[in-house]
Amino acid sequence: MTNEIFEKFTAQVQTFIAPVQELNKLYIYNIEKLFEIQLNSARDYTEICLEQMRSASDITDQKALESFLSKQGETFKTISEKVIADSQAVANIGTEFSSEAQKIAEKSVEAASAAVNIAQVAKKAPVAKKAA
């Protein structure tokens, strides 16, 4: 009898803990993706800055200055495109996270409802009397 109660309790606890575990895994997965985007962005922007510094240090005359200034439009275009791509990637992660979290929540509600229904049926069931 005690084992049966303990097993039922363990099953009910697992029913409620499983969604939390799934959400934790989802959080970790998404945080990893965000960190990856941040690291790649930092590397890319650092490269752009270093290239700009190298180009600026090569300016020795007016022709080199004009060449450097004419390339600034390309550089700003590259940075703008990178910012847009990074923003879209982060937005996609947010959308995917929201969708997956919603699925986990719905599954959790279904499992909890099923557990409540089982508990209600068990309460209504007649208790068998032990033979004396």
pLDDT at 8 over 80: no
15 backbone φψ class: left, alpha, beta (φ>0; ψ -120 to 50) = alpha
Provide the pLDDT for residue 122.
60
CA distances from 64 to 49, 74, 93, 122 (A): 18, 16, 43, 85
CB count in 10 Å sphere of residue 111: 16
Decide if pLDDT at 56 tops 60.
yes
- C-alpha 17/C-alpha 27 separation (Å) is 15
The larger pLDDT score, comparing residue 3 to residue 69, is at: 69
* Cα 41 versus chain centre, distance: 18
CA 23, CA 20: separation in Å to the nearest integer? Answer: 5
Convert the pLDDT of each residue in 9-52 to its tens digit.
777 777 778 888 999 999 999 999 999 999 999 999 999 999 99
- pLDDT given at position 126: 58
96-119: average pLDDT: 82
pLDDT of residue 4: 79
Task: Please give the pLDDT value at position 72.
Answer: 95
pLDDT of residue 11: 74
The per-residue pLDDT for 5 is 76
Whether the predicted pLDDT of 124 surpasses 90: no
